[in-house]
Amino acid sequence: MTPGDLRARVLILAALLAVGFGSLTGRLAWLQVVKRAELAQLAERQYSRTVVLHAQRGPILDRQGTPLATSTPTESLFVQPRSVGDPERVTARLAPILGLPPGEVHAALTSSRSFVWLRRKLPPAVAGQVRALREPGLGLLPEPLRLYPNRELAAQVVGFEGVEGGLEGIERAFDDELAGTPGKAIVGRDALGREVTAPHVLEAPQPGHGVMLTIDRTIQYVAERELDAAYRRTGAKSGMTVVLDPRTGEVLAIAIRPTFNPNVFLAAPSRDSWRNRAVTDPFEPGSTFKVILAAAALDEGVVRPNDLIYGENGSFTIAKTTIHDWKKYGWMTFGEVLQNSSNVGSIKVGLVLGRDRYYRYMSAFGFGAATGVGLPGESRGLLRAPGRWSLLSLPTMSIGQEVSVTALQLVAAFGAVANGGTLMRPRIVRTTFDAEGRELRRFEPEPVRQVISPVTARTLTRMLVRAVEAGTGHNAAITGYAVAGKTGTAQKLDPATRRYSRAPGVLSFVGWAPADEPRFVMLVILDEPKGASWGSEVAAPVFGAVGREILRYLDVVPRDGQPMQIVTGPSPQLPASGVTAPVRLVGADVAVDANGGRVMPDLTGRMLRSALAALAPLHLTVEIRGQGRVVQQAPRPGAPLRPGLTARLILAPGARGSASRAAPPREVSDVRGSASRAAPPGEANDVSGSASRAAPPGEVRDVSGSASRAAPSREASDVIR
């Protein structure tokens, strides 16, 4: 080898080394500079993992602050199949602990996915057993468990939570508020994929907001207890009880049968039991709808309580269809038509009222439109425009057929009559609040419209009181209290014949108490009960039983009861050990002056229970005289309070605050579009709206206005035949 050859080889070798070193340097630069971020993420995924920390869901409370839904911390089990050593061995150890089929566990352990949830929200004992296995690829993450401490109580109202959030009821309607904001954490792992360090929290989860309902747990319990007894006793297909405060529109109870336990909602025999039938399932109301007809007819002046109507001895033919009464009636006053629930008498009044005016009032009472209560799946019911009516529509709608309503629509409409003619929008949520109990949003009572005049409402109330005292609603009577209400017995269409079946259909009762100062309006429905044919037999007794308990619970003094003399405000006490204390919101209604000192609130116009609730946080001794609403108080509103002070309240029946003052009689501009005055005595508006003179005593005018069969003479009364 010559020196030249050696030099050439050295140069070639040097060149190769330079190229190799340059390539290595370039590769390192590519990996460490250009691909640095991507490779760092890959390394992080290999030796650590970002996990989601689920937020604690906000509580759902009743109006007194008692939890209806709450959350407790648990752990959920996941598996990373690529890190599992021996799937067969792990399956044999894990399946008995979880109580799952071995095939299901093995499929998860051998999945092609990198992350699989195996079982969510484990009981603490099960989570401890899984942790003790110390198997690679298995991991536990904290996750709150939703609990419903009252089990079936108000199940359809509260709803339930699934894996992806609220699925029914309030849980679904207010899912955004209740859910909160999830957080993030990094969990370190060793080469076998086992978690070796505590999670490092990147973003802490933010708990959800709470929701306080208008539901009262005590009233809800009583309603469910009595409804369940009737449902089981009669073997009914289903049943409902809805209780509402007509003054505010607040829903106090919604009881539904059949029901379910939201803690184990998948165990329900049928998913139909999840549904809140009070807002989702419309039905034909039957005779209870005659109250809507009566309200319209009285308000329009086409009939008066003492006007005579001929009952045609129990049958009436119109549009080639004969409609029967449950009993043969001759001459009746309009008050007796409602009291006896006469179909013939109601149809005749409906024909005089006319379809356009009747439709206007039905719409004004809220039928054919959603109530806006905010619950999922609410139905509008069915109310067709007059242009789509047949010749038989007006007669059948006059007795509650050919129109469908929801339970909430019907109880809200009756609430309008009880509330002096003012329809209130139903509410089921009072307020939302944050984790510290600070109120975020309050839902105030919302008047929708003045449907009928206060004079008409009072007249109709007296007629409905008579219907309970001496008519079909006698089983709904409550000793010591005046009850206004109406029974209903609605037939159902037979799918085979397309005609109304004679079998028992929807049996119901709707009413309120006390009649003159209503504290609640209630609807009771039993669908296809066995061994019963009338709403007065099965629904009215439930109303009476529930109403009696409600009035006692609300401290409503009976008509013949002795007035309460002295009440001492309770001192705050700590709950007993192991008892969940009701949640109290920050910023209760306690009046303060500019310096933050407590002052006497204005109690004028409040009922006794409301006044005592406002005074309870002040821990005063209270002396009470009379019964009804507060008309005088001492100290005066705004006066500073000092320790040991005694508050004195004077109550009187029928007194109301200025906010609820009656509208001028017979002026209902919201319904008609313009004020319409009542027809003078002896006149009634016909279908066209023109005034027609009443027939003289001994003579009857039929629907067309022609003279017909003689009616008994009755002073100051019109007659309709």
Q: Which of 659, 662, 603, 610 is nearest to 634 (CA)?
A: 603
Average confidence (pLDDT) over 51-67 = 89
Average confidence (pLDDT) over 337-350 = 94
pLDDT per residue over 171-196, tens digit each? Answer: 999 999 999 888 887 765 544 554 44
How many whole angstroms separate alpha carbon 121 and alpha carbon 95?
16
Flag whether pLDDT at 31 surpasses 80: no
Q: Does the annotation mark 287 as catalytic?
A: yes
Strand blocks (E) in 364-496:
422-424, 429-433, 439-442, 447-450, 484-490, 493-494
Measure the CA dihedral 468/472/477/481, to 10°: 0
SS3 457: helix
Q: What are phi and psi of 63, to 5 degrees?
A: -65, -20
CA contacts within 13 A on the Cβ side of 635:
16
How many whole angstroms separate alpha carbon 412 and alpha carbon 521?
8
Q: What is the 3-state secondary structure (H, E, C) of 115-152?
A: CEEEEEEECHHHHHHHHHHCCCCEEEEEEEEEECCCCC
Q: Which of 464, 454, 459 is nearest to 338 (CA)?
A: 464
Of the pLDDT bands very low, low, confident and very high (cuts 50, 70, 90), residue 212 is: very high
Other CB atoms closer than 10 Å to residue 195's CB: what's the count? 18
Contact at 8 Å (CB) between 448 and 417? no
CA contacts within 13 A on the Cβ side of 454:
9
Q: Which of 104, 111, 147, 140 is nearest to 124 (CA)?
A: 140
How many whole angstroms separate alpha carbon 412 and alpha carbon 426?
7
Strand blocks (E) in 54-182:
60-61, 67-79, 116-122, 138-147, 160-162, 165-168
Identify the bridge partners of residue 162 per DSSP, sorted by sequence position: 165
Flag whether pLDDT at 362 surpasses 50: yes
pLDDT per residue over 709-720, tens digit each? Answer: 445 544 434 566
Flag whether pLDDT at 197 surpasses 90: no
Give the pLDDT confidence score for residue 716 in this predicted structure: 39
Contact at 8 Å (CB) between 119 and 80? no
Contact at 8 Å (CB) between 341 and 472? yes
Of the pLDDT bands very low, low, confident and very high (cuts 50, 70, 90), residue 47 is: low
Of the pLDDT bands very low, low, confident and very high (cuts 50, 70, 90), residue 454 is: very high
pLDDT, greater one: 158 or 660: 158
How many whole angstroms separate alpha carbon 336 and alpha carbon 323?
19
| CA distance to 231, 235, 246, 249, per residue, from 653 (Å) | 37, 42, 18, 22
> Which DSSP category does 236 fall into?
-
Q: Among all chains, which residue has been given the structure tokens 């309603």? A: 223
| CA distance to 149, 340, 437, per residue, from 583 (Å) | 14, 48, 8
Average confidence (pLDDT) over 275-290 = 94
pLDDT, greater one: 584 or 492: 492
Contact at 8 Å (CB) between 124 and 42? no
| CA distance to 62, 532, 542, 552, per residue, from 227 (Å) | 20, 15, 7, 18
Flag whether pLDDT at 152 surpasses 60: yes
Distance of CA 504 to the CA centre of its chain: 28
How many whole angstroms separate alpha carbon 381 and alpha carbon 511?
21
Flag whether pLDDT at 288 surpasses 70: yes
DSSP letters for 569-637: PPPP-PPPTTPPPPP--BS-S--B-TTS-BB----TT-BHHHHHHHHGGGT-EEEEESSSEEEEEESPT
Flag whether pLDDT at 702 surpasses 70: no
Average confidence (pLDDT) over 539-553 = 95
Q: What are phi and psi of 202, to 5 degrees?
A: -90, -45
Lowest mean pLDDT across 259-263, 641-645, 667-671 = 667-671
Average pLDDT, the chain: 82
* Active-site pick, 83, 287, 346, 453: 287
Q: Cβ-count burial of 438 within 10 angstroms (0-12 exposed, 13-18 middle, 19+ buried)?
A: exposed
Q: What percent of the chain has pLDDT over 70?
A: 80
Give the pLDDT confidence score for residue 574 in this predicted structure: 43
> Which DSSP category does 188 fall into?
E
How many whole angstroms separate alpha carbon 492 and alpha carbon 166?
34
Contact at 8 Å (CB) between 186 and 199? yes
Most confident of 133-142, 301-310, 499-508, 533-542: 301-310
Q: What are phi and psi of 454, to 5 degrees?
A: -55, -35
Give the pLDDT confidence score for residue 143 in this predicted structure: 84
Q: What percent of the chain has pLDDT over 90?
A: 48
The helix (H) or strand (E) run that includes residue 201 is: strand 200-203
Average confidence (pLDDT) over 446-473 = 94
Measure the CA dihedral 344/349/351/353, to 10°: -160
Average confidence (pLDDT) over 212-226 = 96
Most confident of 282-286, 503-507, 708-712: 282-286
